[in-house]
């Protein structure tokens, strides 16, 4: 039957009257629009008026199920069973805000495991866009209100490339409590903390400030509780942004190399060209090659001219450095127009006010640690890639801007 007919039947039978009130249940009806004419279930027999559209009733009060039971003994037993099932996997009893596990709820290491340790979910911080050297990661604190207590989070990071054996190279492990919040770790990594949509939700974050540009990194996170248990791993793999490129300098170097290659090249000029190309980074060398071929390819491309002027051995030493540039950055470095910029973003740097005793292993509750936070600005260097505005036209615009002339 239609829902409105069911409610009408309840009201007719006076099941919701004051005399026979159902404990814990309240139904309120209101009309919000009408049923569409195509719905045959909404039509009442003998009436042309359409019935009100069924609307999901709003919940005006949330109460535990066991409060609906009148008998005190049954109520307490039901409450204990529900609390055990929800917080202790049904294998222990809730005592205050922790679980007392049954004798059968111990793992192979002898640790109680009736209260599950949730897996943290590592993610990129939405407020900090990754740059060529800076990446910020965050996760929500997984400590439940009742049960297991999180003592620490262990973060592992390592660079992954074709030259590294990922099984042998484990990277660097950092303790969020002992290394980052204490300030004893490297200055290239810092800890932060913020709150979610509700103040009860803690969000921890870590910012890496000294990563290599155009590098593939793997970050792994797991939680540790006060009994020494480890949660499942959460992993994020990302590639940092392409290295900063001074496009004007790359164009100047391309012009310089062309002038050195042009005409008869003496031994001194050959050495000058070789030293100049070896001193720049691989990404700058890629950009120099792009500008050289854009302006002077009719006189021979960059590879052929380098082999012809410097010889195969020196040219090979120069050109093999281009292999270090990833395919992603290679495509971006071919853009007609590149401009570097430096942005500043706020970040909440946090440190612990407490000092843990050295030389002993003890597990405190991370959430209870007193933390002082200070907002600081972080510089983020990036490249902007776009369409060409014309070599000489761009130079003219820069001069006009410098002279503060507006047309």
- The answer to whether residues 4 and 144 belong to one domain is no
H/E stretch holding 9 reads: helix 3-12
62-107 residue pLDDT tens? 777 777 777 888 888 888 888 898 899 889 999 988 899 898 888 8
Residue 22 lies in a domain: yes
260 in the same domain as 180 = no
pLDDT at 370: 87
- For residue 30, the model assigns a pLDDT of 62
Q: Pairing state of beta strands 216-225 and 123-124?
A: unpaired
Domain enclosing residue 15, as ranges: 1-30
Residue 101's CB is within 10 A of a number of other CB atoms, namely 18
Please tell me whether residues 128 and 224 are part of one structural domain.
yes
- The answer to the question of residue 162 being in a domain is yes
Task: Tell me the CATH number at 372.
Answer: 2.60.40.10
Task: Calculate the CA 275 to chain-centre distance.
Answer: 41
pLDDT of 265-293, one tens digit each? 788 888 999 999 999 999 999 999 999 99
Note the pLDDT of residue 398: 37
Which segments of the chain have a pLDDT < 50? 21-24, 359-360, 390-407
Letter string b/e over residues 179-210, b meaning 16 or more CB atoms within 10 A of that residue's CB: bbbbeebeeebbbbbbeeeeeeebebbbbbbe
Q: Which of 333, 367, 397 is the last residue of a domain?
A: 333
Alpha-carbon distance values, 263 to 266, 269, 315 (Å): 10, 11, 18
My answer on whether 236 and 348 are in the same domain is: yes
Q: Are residues 237 and 352 in the same domain?
A: yes
- Domain match, 232 and 261 both: no
Q: What is the pLDDT of residue 400?
A: 33
Is the same domain home to 141 and 216? yes
| pLDDT value, residue 392 | 36
Question: Rounded to 5 degrees, what are φ and ψ at 120?
Answer: -70, 150
Element (DSSP H or E) covering residue 79: helix 72-87
Q: How many domains does the chain have?
A: 3
Whether residue 2 lies inside any domain: the answer is: yes
Predicted local distance difference test score (pLDDT) of residue 356: 62
Indicate the pTM of the whole model. Answer: 0.70
pLDDT attached to residue 142: 93
Residue 202 lies in a domain: yes
**Are 220 and 272 members of one domain?**
no
């Amino acid at each position: 039957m239609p829902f409105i007919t069911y409610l009408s039947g309840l009201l007719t039978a006076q099941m919701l009257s004051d005399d026979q009130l159902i404990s814990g249940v309240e139904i309120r009806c209101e009309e919000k629009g009408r049923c569409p004419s195509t719905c045959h279930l909404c039509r009442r027999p003998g009436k042309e008026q359409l019935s009100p559209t069924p609307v999901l009733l709003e919940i005006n009060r949330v109460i535990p199920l066991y409060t609906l039971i009148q008998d005190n003994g049954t109520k307490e037993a039901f409450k204990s069973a529900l609390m055990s099932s929800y917080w202790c996997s049904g294998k222990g009893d809730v005592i205050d805000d922790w679980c007392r596990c049954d004798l059968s709820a111990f793992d192979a290491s002898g640790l109680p495991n009736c209260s599950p340790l949730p897996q943290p979910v590592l993610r990129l911080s939405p407020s900090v866009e990754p740059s060529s050297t800076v990446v910020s990661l965050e996760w929500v604190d997984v400590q439940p209100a009742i049960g297991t207590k999180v003592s620490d989070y262990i973060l592992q990071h390592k660079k992954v490339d074709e030259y590294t054996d990922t099984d042998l190279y484990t990277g660097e492990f950092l303790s969020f409590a002992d290394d980052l919040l204490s300030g004893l770790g490297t200055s290239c990594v810092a800890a932060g903390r913020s709150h979610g949509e509700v103040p009860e939700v803690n969000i921890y974050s870590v910012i890496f400030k000294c990563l290599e540009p155009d590098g593939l990194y793997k970050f792994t996170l797991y939680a540790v509780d006060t009994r020494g248990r480890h949660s499942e791993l959460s992993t994020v793999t990302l590639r940092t942004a392409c290295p900063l490129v001074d496009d004007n300098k790359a164009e100047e170097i391309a012009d310089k190399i062309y002038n050195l290659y042009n005409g008869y090249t003496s031994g001194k000029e050959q050495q000058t060209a070789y030293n100049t190309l070896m001193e720049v980074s691989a990404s700058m060398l890629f950009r120099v090659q792009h500008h050289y071929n854009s302006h002077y390819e009719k006189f021979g491309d960059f590879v052929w001219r380098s082999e012809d002027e410097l010889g195969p051995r020196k040219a090979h030493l120069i050109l093999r450095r281009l292999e270090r540039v990833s395919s992603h950055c290679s495509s971006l470095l071919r853009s007609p127009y590149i401009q570097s910029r430096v942005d500043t973003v706020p970040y909440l740097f946090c440190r612990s006010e407490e000092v843990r005793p050295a030389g002993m292993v003890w597990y405190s509750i991370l959430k209870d640690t007193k933390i002082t936070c200070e907002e600081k600005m972080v510089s983020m260097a990036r490249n902007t890639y776009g369409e060409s505005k014309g070599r000489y036209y761009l130079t003219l615009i820069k001069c006009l801007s410098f002279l503060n002339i507006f047309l």
